[in-house]
Structure 1
Amino acid sequence: MSNASNDETIQQRCERILQAQAARQRAREEEIARQEAEFAAEMERIEVEEKAAREAEEKRKAEEQRVAEEKRRAEEKRIAKEQRMEEQQRQEEEKRVAEEKKKLEVEKKKLRQKRSTAYTRLVEENKKEKERAAKELERRQKSISKPPQPDVQVLVPTTSPRRKTFKSKAIISDESDDEVVEQPREVMPRGAKRKRTIKMIAKGGDNLDPDVEKGDNTSLPPDPSQPHSACSRCVMIGRPSDCRPQSTRRPTQACELDEDDVYEGPAVRVGERRRVEGTEVAEQLARIAEQNQDLVKLLRQSLVVQEQMLGIMVRAEKRGMEAMEESEKGEDEDEDGEGEEDEEEIENEEEKRAKIREGKKRAE
């Protein structure tokens, strides 16, 4: 019995051991399967990520290529547009240069037509100006040669001529040419003016003293504004004792007085002003003649300068046209052969424009 129970116990133990081994084997297999599943999932995830990365990279490269292509096309369009604009500008520049050349030719013809008449017209104007100035000078000299009349009262009859009664008009004052002074009423008989003048010359003063000669209003009251008398036969005003003309009608020579003895009265100022005006007119005529000569010289110089400027502008335009023609010939030769680069064409265009601008500046 004991042996049988032992065998049964050993068998049970063996079964339990086998069961435990089987359980461990299943657990290992499950773990291996789980790990394999995880590995497969990881590999699948990695593949998906790699695929997504590849697709993203391909998309990025395609986008970059598309952007680069668009930039290239835009640059080509811009270059083509700039070339068209430059060609249009060049054509417009050529057209404008041709129009300016025509205008210059017309202006040159007009200048040639005007040049023949400008000098003659200027000479005629100068001649007229000289004649007018000569007439003015002659008139002023005539006015200077006439002896100035003294400031005397202009007497007009108030009632009838029989009564010999006169009323004085207003005379011009010594202080101003515009100020009018009303003189008192005077009563002078016939010949009183001449007697008064003779007595003043003999006396050497201004108005007669009432105490020297008494009569019915034969003398005027003294005028404090005129300390010396006026000589009607002399071109100056001074002391009558120093005035000794040869004739009673017209003096042969002027009073030769010292500057200290000369009375600066209105007649002196008038005569001096007339002499100064005559001198000023002569000086003005001389200045006008000099200015006319300078104007003639300036006109001739301006005509010469205008002709030179026209020649310079024409030559500059010719050089610009020749340069453009040479550049066009060079472009045609380049198109027949190997085409030049865009940068070289742009530089050539800039050089042509610089030459044209330089020619214009030089012409200006």
Structure 2
Amino acid sequence: MKFLHAADIHLDSPLTGLQSRADLPETVLRHCTRRAFSAMIDLALAEDVAFLLIAGDLYDGDWKDFSTGLFFAAEMRRLGRPCFLLRGNHDAQSIITRNLPKPANVHEFSARTCQTFEDRGIGVALHGHSFPNRAVPEDLSESYPAPRPGLLNIGLLHTSAEDPGEHETYAPCRIGALRLKNYDYWALGHIHARQVLSEQPWIVFPGNLQGRHAKETGPKGCTLVTVEDRRVVAVEHRSVDVLRWAVLSVDATGTGLPQLSERIEAAVHQALIEADDRPLLARLTFTGATALHATLIEDTERLAAECRAVALNAGGELWVESVKVRTRPAMQPEPELLAPLHAAFASGLDDPGQVAKLLAELEALRRKLPVAAQADLDLPRDEDGLRQLATDAWQVVAELLAADEKP
């Protein structure tokens, strides 16, 4: 027996920051999430899975376009086998979910309490609890029942788990507590990057089906699970995305324009290989200390066009979402007069308490912005990032001080 585990589909949610881009073909951008969902149904049919699990966020917020729900219903009819789904933080109060009748093969978990669906024909018991509303601060997994004897027990849960990262905290839970439930598989949702939190038992975030912005890079899809004699024997990622995102990081340290072009070409070729013949949206990021710093800042359009030309020559489809210049001018010998000031400046990050305070302030600033803006905000999240920012800041300070000393 096989089953598919998916989450965070966000049907018909737009790709972030691309609505005004006239250079991107409509055929590439249109209905990405729908096409990825259809590819998943194709996979389910090809693998002859027994059922499909969707661990939250099928829809994206209070979406009122009923064609989204009708599309889902049509795909469920095409699936022709059971689909078990629960609501997450994004679709907890969806008008589509409330008002459109569900296809007969779709079983939605209750939002009032943990509910169990049992199918002794295929030997499975599925336990899940939908979000009653968007904000769920409590650990929903605490109410999940003991496993049903003689069956494959699967828990579906939309949760931030123990994630300390960029995702908001919803229905947090402890990995150790999930293990103690003695289920055979935990089908999680909410974290958009694929993560395997445990293999005994399997506790899996499949990631989202389709990347929607430049921080959701790499292969996206669902998880195919193989079961033999009521035991999970294989857990495999299967990519179903139709458009891929990548960050092309180019180190400009010590380069002239010819060497920089070679590095851009190498980065583009590697990205095309990793895209698996899918159209690619790339964020081009330059780093390092270079004499080309000012040129790069002034010439971002040409750099984007160069990437596009390299991809076309290689027979690939690549568009540059944005160009981020994170370089700095090549370091000049620092005047001895500035050395004590530099040492005092750098020592500010030797205090762990000060580092923690600065990171907390930056995180508070990030959370004041809309979620879509947060995805594109380039602020440090750890001590290494903070030290890099301090290095860049000192360079600016040193240049200004050195300029003031000139006659």
| TM-score (normalizing by structure 1) | 0.17
User: Larger strand proportion, structure 1 or 2?
Assistant: 2
Looking at CA atoms only, which structure, 1 or 2, has the larger radius of gyration?
Answer: 1
User: Larger helix proportion, structure 1 or 2?
Assistant: 1
